[in-house]
Amino acid sequence: MTDPAAPNLREIKKRRTRAAIVAAAMNLFDEHGYDAVTVAAVAEAAEVGQRTLYRHFADKEDFLFAPDDELHHAMTRAAAAAPDDGTGLAVFVHAVRAAAEILEPQREMLVRRARVIARTPALQAREGLKQAALQQLFTDELVRRGHPPERARLVAGIGMTCAGEALARWLEDPDHGSLDEIIAGVEADAGTLGTPIHK
C-alpha cells in the first residue's frame, strides 16, 4: 500500500534537480568566488536550462539560502511541539536537535557554504536577516507559551547564540563529534556561564 505522505515521482525529481543546482553553485562559488560566478555558469554546471533553474530559485543568492527554508520550517514545527520546562531554553534545544537531523548529512556542503559567505559581505547581510527572522519566530513561540516578551527575546537570543556556536564548532572540526553531541556540549557550557573560571 502506498504511503500517502511519501513524495511522488515528480516531487523526487524536483528535489534532485534542486540539489544538483545547489551542489553545482556551491562548487563554483567556493572555487571562483561568489561574485565571479554567473547564473548561466551554474545552469551549465548543473546541466539544466536557465528557465529550469529559475523555476526552482528566485536569484543567485537563493542557491545558498533557499535550503534554509526547509530547515526553518522543521525547527518551527519542533519548537511548537516541544515540552516547556519553564525556562524556554528546552523549546529551543528541541528545535535545534530537529535541525541537526537535517544538517548532519550535509556537512561538506555547509563547510563550503560557510567559506563562501565569509568571503562575501552581501551574503553575510542576507544570512543575518534570515537569522533575525528565525530568532523572531522563536520569540513569538515563547510569548505564545506565556513568557513575557522581554524574557522571550532574551531566551531566543541566547538560544540562537548557542546554536551558532555549536554549528561553528561542528563545521570547524568533525572530530568534535556529531552535531547533536556538540549541541549537548554547548548546552552544558551555557549552563556554567555563571560559574567562575578557576585558573
What is the per-residue pLDDT across 169-189, written as a single tens digit (0 to 9) for each?
A: 999 987 778 888 998 888 888
Q: Which amino acid is at 6?
A: A
Alpha helices by DSSP H, 36-178:
39-46, 50-56, 62-65, 67-81, 89-103, 107-118, 121-144, 149-172
Q: Which CATH number fits domain 66-190: 1.10.3810.10, 3.30.499.10, 3.20.20.10, 1.10.357.10?
A: 1.10.357.10
Determine the length of the chain.
Answer: 199
Best CA proximity match to 106, nearest among 156, 189, 171: 171
Residue 119, pLDDT score: 94
- What is the mean predicted confidence (pLDDT) over 96-116? 90
What is the dotted CATH code of the domain comprising 9-60? 1.10.10.60
Residue 145, pLDDT score: 92
Give 149's contacts (C-beta < 8 A, 6+ positions apart): 139, 143
Residue 4, pLDDT score: 58
Q: Which amino acid is at 160?
A: M
Residue 24, pLDDT score: 94
Rounded to 10°, the helix 149-172/107-118 angle is 110
Cα–Cα distance measured from residue 43 to residue 25, given in angstroms and rounded to the nearest whole number: 8
Q: Render pLDDT for 34-92 as a digit per residue (tens, 0 to 9).
A: 999 999 999 999 999 999 999 999 999 999 988 788 888 899 899 999 887 778 888 88
The domains of the chain are located at 9-60, 66-190
Question: Between residues 147 and 194, which one has the greater pLDDT?
Answer: 147
Alpha helices by DSSP H, 5-61:
9-32, 39-46, 50-56
State the cell numbers at 162: 548557542
